[in-house]
Homo-oligomer: A and B are copies of this chain.
Amino acid sequence: MTSDAPTRAYRRLSVEERRSQLLESALTLFAHRAPEEVSLDDVAEAAGVSRPLVYRYFPGGKQQLYEAALRSAADELRGCFAEPPQGPLIERLGRALDRYLSFVGEHDAGFSALLQGGSVVETSRTTAIVDGVRRAAAEHIMRHLDVEEPGPRLLMTVRMWITAVEAASLIWLDQDKRPPLDELRDGLVDHFVAGLAVTAGRDEQTAAVVRSALALETPDGPVASLARRVLPVVADAAHLL
């Protein structure tokens, strides 16, 4: 209870403004605590309004607020993926990933609770919202790779990488955000390049994508740097060829 809470409660807000304000308070709470640890009273207090007012806007209570907050977070995440289709591909991916990881870092506990499963607020609707973000990520990547109809091998490779990014994000949060975001991002970009390269060995569509992507790279770009780091390690395997 802060002394200015009652004052704020009397501010005249339009229905839309009030709804946004409640949603924003809820999102802030759900971002840093497990949904189990957020009550409607917490949301009311954070927004400086009464509990009945929260119910008036969200008659479904906490579940409805959680889903609305999740939808708003999903929209924000989709925004992170937007990137102009110019310049070397892998650098575009790095910038999008940078925004994604910043978002993850800013919504730590909520992100973990959401993706780790087993939460009381998890329903087929929340799962669908999360899947929608994953699908959007895959679509963005395909657009940048200039692939209109991805075959099953390319699609599986991209979707595997997206899941691996989620797993890495959870581990990163669990390790108190170590290594630093930059290093995590660069490592994930490397994994993307490696995953595509490996699938390219079995799939002509992916091979064409890799060739186009490599043609856009420069000697001071991330792929060249990756190659320079990895080649000395695998050089010992020359006996295999």
Contact = CB atoms under 8 A, between A and B. Distances in A.
Contact of A237 (B124, B168, B227): B227
Contacts of A118: 122-128
A179 B146 CA distance: 24
Contacts of A210: 233-234
Interface residues of A, number: 66
B161 A163 contact: no
Contacts of A215: 236
Contact of A240 (B130, B155, B160, B227): B227
- Residue of A156, A201, A228 with most partner-chain B CB within 10 A: A201
A96 B160 CA distance: 19
B234 A214 contact: yes
Nearest to A229: B201
A118 B200 CA distance: 34
A239 B207 CA distance: 18
Contacts of A207: 233
A201 B197 contact: no
